[in-house]
Amino acid sequence: MNVVFAVKQYISKMIEDSGPGMKVLLMDKETTGIVSMVYTQSEILQKEVYLFERIDSQNREIMKHLKAICFLRPTKENVDYLIQELRRPKYSIYFIYFSNVISKSDVKSLAEADEQEVVAEVQEFYGDYIAVNPHLFSLNILGCCQGRNWDPVQLSRATQGLTALLLSLKKCPMIRYQLSSETAKRLAECVKQVITKEYELFEFRRTEVPPLLLILDRCDDAITPLLNQWTYQAMVHELLGINNNRIDLSRVPGISKDLREVVLSAENDEFYANNMYLNFAEIGSNIKNLMEDFQKKKPKEQQKLESIADMKAFVENYPQFKKMSGTVSKHVTVVGELSRLVSERNLLEVSEVEQELACQNDHSSALQNVKRLLQNPKVTEFDAARLVMLYALHYERHSSNSLPGLMMDLRNKGVSEKYRKLVSTVVEYGGKRVRGSDLFSPKDAVAITKQFLKGLKGVENVYTQHQPFLYETLDHLIKGKLKENLYPYLGPSTLRDSRCSYDLYYLPQDIIVFIIGGATYEEALTVYNLNRTTPGVRIVLGGTTVHNTKSFLEEVLASGLHSRSKESSQVTSRLASRR
């Protein structure tokens, strides 16, 4: 169930199977991302892969002394490129791996192009997704929907990604989907179709408890991606943006050249692996410790390696030292930038109000706080807009909703038209009308008690009160309490029947959750904790992408829902008039 490992295994297998000798890895744009998430350059160099080329690059030289490993998505363009490549081969021998199912006709046209018999292997290796963490994958699709329907191109990409994931983990799951979402149903059906069509591929050893694929829609919880985050990974993504583990720091004032772009990968950065789920305060102290360790190891200037023993000790520690110095400067820079942004944008205060908006039901105090922050000049237009969005989502139908007033405040604050329009678009995207379940008020006695007790302890971190809606869904799922009328099973009655015999006891153990419209790192953390706290249960989370607020708003914008903003502004005006 470890997705990083699954992809890594595929890649190592490819490289191993090509035997000794100098190698070039021939990839396309997407597979480059897929490989770079699981392997570092030095790691892959050790396996004699010295060059990385794009299949579409024209400027490739003939190097007959290299072996080529091609890892490509089975798209039409890639097949065409490959045909050209085989007609005039640039390398001595080709090992071809497609990241997904390839059609027989494509295989045939490739075979016919291979007149010089340079192809030694043609296989499907299903590493067709970006493995972010062991339990988190993404497809890097931004803007998967048009209106409330799939963009057909993205639907097929999502289907491919999901089926590849299932194949790489060797799972043939039962499928459940969120009834309120048409896109979820559509994707579920497509995945099912592939499973039925490629039934030979999906014949794995039967497990006692069948795995489960749960398909959800971002619309159901538009709150989570709008919140500021305080755990390391999520925070870095929210404030700086993580793109395939890379962070662009070029906008950081006074940044040194080699830190313009840094890589944060839990696979080979121990500090990051240990701290990615900790909150900002803990990171601060851990960074301090890291610095101290570093200082200890660092030879002091005045000390000057005097004796031979000193030199020896230094040289022996050197690789470690070098590695550490890289880590130290990287994390110090990142954390420093985070805390600069936090104070510059007044994020502590903003976040507190955000959390209040997301987790509590006190309208008047929330409104007051939002209004107060809108007056604060330190609060950026982005943060101001998101506060209003949260307010609009939560108190959409509240009797004393004063969204128009807040919109006026936004305008007075000088927030751009784009953001102001987005407020209504977000409500359109994830408002009450489209939500399948109630996001805000607690649902049952247990939840109420829990919430109440939470309040009692009074020691909880106010900045991380919010628990994504996903937690509840998964919790119910694990306990077998997820309602079938909201999250029905997909599939012919035969599958249902086989399940019926132990329907009552069916508690899934291996769960794959996929969120159409993108997951968030906060949800990844939730899943991580669920994995650690629930014995026998393994959950993998995926999304069309991994969002921060900015990318989420882009997604909302791309969905094209703003065309209806007129209608929703009418709603707001109606609400206003009601006041």
Spatial contact of 538 and 1, defined as CB atoms under 8 Å apart: yes
Decide whether 107 or 558 has the Cβ nearer to another protein.
Answer: 107
Distance CA 170, CA 197 (A): 16
Decide whether 312 or 579 has the Cβ nearer to another protein.
Answer: 312
Distance CA 175, CA 189 (A): 9
Identify the residue among 368, 529, 563, 570 touching another protein (CB under 8 A).
529
DSSP character for 62? P
Under rule CB under 8 A, which residues in 403-432 are in contact with another protein? none
Q: At closest approach, how far in Å is the CB of 17 from another protein?
A: 10
Q: In this structure, what token pair is assigned to residue 221?
A: 């919880």
Decide whether 133 or 333 has the Cβ nearer to another protein.
Answer: 133
Alpha helices (runs of H) in 345-463, residue ranges in sequence order = 347-359, 363-375, 381-394, 403-413, 417-430, 445-457
3-class secondary-structure state, position 458: coil
Distance CA 117, CA 319 (A): 45
Residue 441 makes contact with another protein by CB under 8 A: no
Spatial contact of 112 and 120, defined as CB atoms under 8 Å apart: no
Identify the residue among 76, 208, 377, 445 touching another protein (CB under 8 A).
445
Identify the residue among 55, 174, 242, 530 touching another protein (CB under 8 A).
530
Residue 206 makes contact with another protein by CB under 8 A: no
Torsion angle of C-alpha atoms 103, 105, 106, 107, degrees rounded to 10: 90
Residue 204 makes contact with another protein by CB under 8 A: yes
Distance CA 271, CA 523 (A): 22
Encoded one letter per residue, x for contact with another protein by CB under 8 A and - for no contact, window 274-293 reads xx-xxxxxx-xxx-xx----
Element (H, E) at 110: helix 104-113
Q: At closest approach, how far in Å is the CB of 210 from another protein?
A: 17
Spatial contact of 350 and 373, defined as CB atoms under 8 Å apart: yes
Q: Judged by CB under 8 A, how many residues of this single chain contact another protein?
A: 98
Distance CA 156, CA 158 (A): 5
The stretch among 137-145, 404-412, 416-424, 453-461 that binds another protein (CB under 8 A) is 453-461
Residue 556 makes contact with another protein by CB under 8 A: no
Under rule CB under 8 A, which residues in 125-144 are in contact with another protein? 125-127, 133-135
Decide whether 341 or 576 has the Cβ nearer to another protein.
Answer: 341
Spatial contact of 522 and 229, defined as CB atoms under 8 Å apart: yes
Under rule CB under 8 A, which residues in 38-97 are in contact with another protein? 42, 45-46, 50-51, 53, 59-61, 63-66, 92
Identify the residue among 147, 156, 261, 315 touching another protein (CB under 8 A).
315
Decide whether 172 or 392 has the Cβ nearer to another protein.
Answer: 172
Q: In this structure, what token pair is assigned to residue 455?
A: 């309040």
Under rule CB under 8 A, which residues in 557-576 are in contact with another protein? none
Under rule CB under 8 A, which residues in 333-392 are in contact with another protein? 348
Pick from 393, 343, 100, 382: which is nearest to 221 by CA? 393
DSSP character for 376? -
Q: At closest approach, how far in Å is the CB of 526 from another protein?
A: 12
Encoded one letter per residue, x for contact with another protein by CB under 8 A and - for no contact, window 479-518 reads ----------------------------------------
